[in-house]
Structure 1
Amino acid sequence: MNTKLLSLHHLIKATILFGFAMYIVYLVKTDNILYYIAPRMVDYVKWSAVGFYAIAVYQVYQTIRTFWGSKAACDCDHDHTPSRSVLKNALIYGLFCFPLLLGFALPDTTMGSSLAAKKGMNLSSANSVKKETSSNATALSESLSAPGATATAPSTPGIGSLTPVPSPSGNSAGAGNAAGTTAGSSAGAGSSAKSSTDPDEMFPSDKFTQHYAAYAKQLYQDGGVIPVKEELFLETLTTVDLYLDKFVGKKMQLTGFVYREDDMKNTQFVVGRFTIQCCSADASPYGVLVDYDRAEQFADDSWVTVTGTIQQTKFNDMDIMLLKVEKITKAEPAKAQYVYPNFDFGA
């Protein structure tokens, strides 16, 4: 291939690499990078920009070197000469240029109601925790029913022991109950725990829920309004949802965007936020159903701060938390509009 044409290929590669590096720098400088990835991933993306710059500089060096007639040789017996087909080259370079052009051309916007409707708003944030506890109890039941299984109780009660371990719902239904024991005694223990004022009895736990139980005791004993802080958004909702019967009548305050579904009442909407673990691809909407007489005053995707009394209701045949609004105000969208798992929770 003509050295001038080959140098053009190196120049195109350098331009594309510089473009990606500049786009990352733009996102970081404007903080718009938080629309796409979680804060803990930002440093990795910054380092990738440095890598793009370094490779782009090398491609510029190759451009100059090749232009003056010197071609690199790696002695690997492979032909690294680019294709002479214009269409093939256009398609290959287009795979890199197209997303880069979209990044610069399209506005950086946050996710809202339209995406929440597609993904499905999660109104019971404790579901995943309950499923883990339930699946563990099922696995224990199957292991005990296997031939040769013995019912020996370990000295330390736990999720794998036969000593009854209180479940998060407040009943004293442990592994033994899951293995087939009658529910009568556990129901009695559940009613006893429910009437107790001892926090340890009010908020029973196993190894999957011990951190939530500890946080539930803190929230219950603090009194006053339960604040749903951004740094503990999902953890707070999960804790209250997990022990919902103990928090009925308590007050809660949270901020988020307004979301509605067709089968909701005119007085109802959801105050929600998107949670992200790694990037926008794994975003999931979580929220709390609220009830307010003048709910129609607030448009979809507008931001509000709501203070209300925690109640329990049914929605789509599921028991969920309901916030009976006592105070509601318009709010400015948060600078970082998404919330993230707190990996220090329970540490």
Structure 2
Amino acid sequence: MILLAFCGLIFQLHYTGDITKYINPKFVRLSQSLSILFLFLFFIQITRIWTSKREEAVHEHHQGQDFCHHDSHTCSHHDDHGDTQFTVKKLLSYSIILFPLLTGFFLPAKTLDASIAEKKGGLAILGNQKQEVNSSEISDESDSDLEDQSFEEELAEAGELEHDLSVNEEAEEISNEEFEQLKKDLYSASAIKMDDKVFSLYYEEISKDIDKFIGREIEFQGFIYKEEGLASNQLVISRFLITHCVADASMIGFLSEMEEAPELYDNMWVIVSGVINKAAYNGTELPMIKIKEWKEIEEPLIPYLYPLTIKVL
């Protein structure tokens, strides 16, 4: 029954789409295979139990007949001999196994948020990060197209991208040439559009050499995180990057300045456009975005970012 329950839990996570709140989409197929394996083992175990019970029943019947010829008390005692005691050790073992099942079925999937960002170190983490990011998807649209589109049009495209990602769960791979082209596009485009496909790559490049990007237009989306010690007009617009699963999640994001900052609150999702600048935090230089436009949005169906995967030929 435990095997069947695990199969049902994984199926439920896939059916509701919550599986992407726990693992990188490129491992979705592996997760589905695991569900099938649990179901297969369930049927194997049912067969074993059924066969074992029948053999025990036949064996006990023959032994019982022999014992009963000599002592009726011995016969009665033997009938109870097959009962297995439920020890403390077994209770502990089953509790450990049942715990993820109970939490999986009865506790809703929760997205990592500002409270987790604070526990992971917040801006201190951003200041020390040197992410090694590989690519798995390539944007069909050039960054330079941003110049010809309005902010409202970009909002609509963000919704379309979210829909595409929610349907196409399995991540794609790109060649090393495509990966290098993405970086070239970043450096050549006058305006930077950081959609989910290239966010982690562009973030790393901008953080490595901020001076090359000062004054450039940028657009991205994320959740609000306010840290103690920031000025009243400052906040961090963040995302969580997941390599394998939520256990290895790391926060990436930009320190930002905007007049309306006091009105915004932790975990509020926004899409913003602004200009890249530079700021210092605890002696570390960080990219800082001076926000020109912003709009509150719903939390995306897939709120996390995933490293891009380079195809090895």
Which amino acid counterpart does residue 106 of structure 2 have in structure 1?
A
Q: Confirm or deny that 1:218 pairs with 2:221.
A: no
Secondary structure of the equivalent of 1:339? coil
Which amino acid counterpart does residue 26 of structure 2 have in structure 1?
R
CA–CA distance in structure 2, aligned partners of residues 314 and 253 of structure 1: 22
Q: Which residue of 1 aligns with 2:99?
A: 98
Q: Report deviation, 1:67.
A: 3.1
CA–CA distance in structure 2, aligned partners of residues 281 and 268 of structure 1: 29
Which amino acid counterpart does residue 130 of structure 2 have in structure 1?
N
Secondary structure of the equivalent of 1:34? helix
Q: Which residue of 1 aligns with 2:126?
A: 123
Higher normalized helix content (fraction of residues): 2
Secondary structure of the equivalent of 2:5? helix
Q: Which residue of 2 aligns with 1:233?
A: 199
Aligned residue among 27, 30, 37 for 1:41: 27
Deviations 1:183-227 (A, max 9, x none): xxxxxxxxxxxxxxxxxxxxxxxxxxx99986454223222x211
Describe the shift of the 1:212–1:97 C-alpha distance in structure 2 as closer, same or farther (beyond 3 A). Answer: closer
Q: Confirm or deny that 1:334 pairs with 2:300.
A: yes
Describe the shift of the 1:99–1:346 C-alpha distance in structure 2 as closer, same or farther (beyond 3 A). Answer: closer
Describe the shift of the 1:230–1:292 C-alpha distance in structure 2 as closer, same or farther (beyond 3 A). Answer: same
TM-score computed with the length of structure 2 as normaliser: 0.72
Aligned residue among 249, 260, 263 for 2:226: 260
Q: Report deviation, 1:283.
A: 0.4
Q: Are the aligned partners of 2:239 and 2:305 in contact in 1 as well (CA < 8 Å)?
A: yes
Q: Are the aligned partners of 1:212 and 1:239 in contact in 2 as well (CA < 8 Å)?
A: no
Q: Are the aligned partners of 1:125 and 1:237 in contact in 2 as well (CA < 8 Å)?
A: no
Secondary structure of the equivalent of 2:277? strand
Secondary structure of the equivalent of 1:24? helix
Which amino acid counterpart does residue 23 of structure 1 have in structure 2?
L
Secondary structure of the equivalent of 2:41? helix
Q: Kindly report which structure 2 residues correspond to 1:292-331, keeping only aligned pairs within 5 A, or say none.
A: 292-331=258-297
Q: Which residue of 2 aligns with 1:32?
A: 18
Q: Which residue of 1 aligns with 2:209?
A: 243
Q: Which residue of 2 aligns with 1:68?
A: 54
CA–CA distance in structure 1, aligned partners of residues 178 and 128 of structure 2: 15
CA–CA distance in structure 2, aligned partners of residues 83 and 264 of structure 1: 63
Q: Which residue of 2 aligns with 1:191?
A: none
Q: Are the aligned partners of 1:259 and 1:301 in contact in 2 as well (CA < 8 Å)?
A: yes
Q: Are the aligned partners of 2:131 and 2:204 in contact in 1 as well (CA < 8 Å)?
A: no
CA–CA distance in structure 1, aligned partners of residues 56 and 203 of structure 2: 64
Q: Are the aligned partners of 1:273 and 1:339 in contact in 2 as well (CA < 8 Å)?
A: yes
Secondary structure of the equivalent of 1:338? coil
Which amino acid counterpart does residue 226 of structure 2 have in structure 1?
R
Secondary structure of the equivalent of 2:265? coil
Describe the shift of the 1:340–1:128 C-alpha distance in structure 2 as closer, same or farther (beyond 3 A). Answer: closer
Higher relative contact order (CA 8 A, sep 6+): 2
Point out where structure 2 has 5 or more consecutive residues left out of the alignment: 58-81, 133-176
Q: Are the aligned partners of 1:244 and 1:321 in contact in 2 as well (CA < 8 Å)?
A: yes
CA–CA distance in structure 2, aligned partners of residues 94 and 24 of structure 1: 19
Instruction: Please say which of residues 252-261 and 62-71 is displaced more in the overlay.
Output: 62-71
Q: Kindly report which structure 2 residues correspond to 1:74-89, keeping only aligned pairs within 5 A, or say none.
A: 84-89=85-90
Secondary structure of the equivalent of 1:274? strand
Q: Report deviation, 1:333.
A: 1.2
Q: Are the aligned partners of 2:179 and 2:310 in contact in 1 as well (CA < 8 Å)?
A: no
Q: Which residue of 2 aligns with 1:273?
A: 239
Point out where structure 1 has 5 or more consecutive residues left out of the alignment: 1-14, 72-80, 130-209
TM-score computed with the length of structure 1 as normaliser: 0.65
Q: Which residue of 2 aligns with 1:182?
A: none
Structure 1 ranges of 4+ moved more than 6 A: 210-213
Fraction of identical pairs, as percent: 28
Q: Which residue of 2 aligns with 1:58?
A: 44
Q: Kindly report which structure 2 residues correspond to 1:132-143, keeping only aligned pairs within 5 A, or say none.
A: none
CA–CA distance in structure 1, aligned partners of residues 254 and 11 of structure 2: 36
Deviations 1:28-56 (A, max 9, x none): 11110111110111111111111110111
Number of corresponding residues: 243
Which amino acid counterpart does residue 298 of structure 2 have in structure 1?
E
Q: Are the aligned partners of 1:257 and 1:301 in contact in 2 as well (CA < 8 Å)?
A: yes
Describe the shift of the 1:266–1:236 C-alpha distance in structure 2 as closer, same or farther (beyond 3 A). Answer: same
Describe the shift of the 1:82–1:304 C-alpha distance in structure 2 as closer, same or farther (beyond 3 A). Answer: farther
Which amino acid counterpart does residue 42 of structure 1 have in structure 2?
V
Q: Report deviation, 1:345.
A: 8.8
Q: Are the aligned partners of 1:258 and 1:298 in contact in 2 as well (CA < 8 Å)?
A: yes
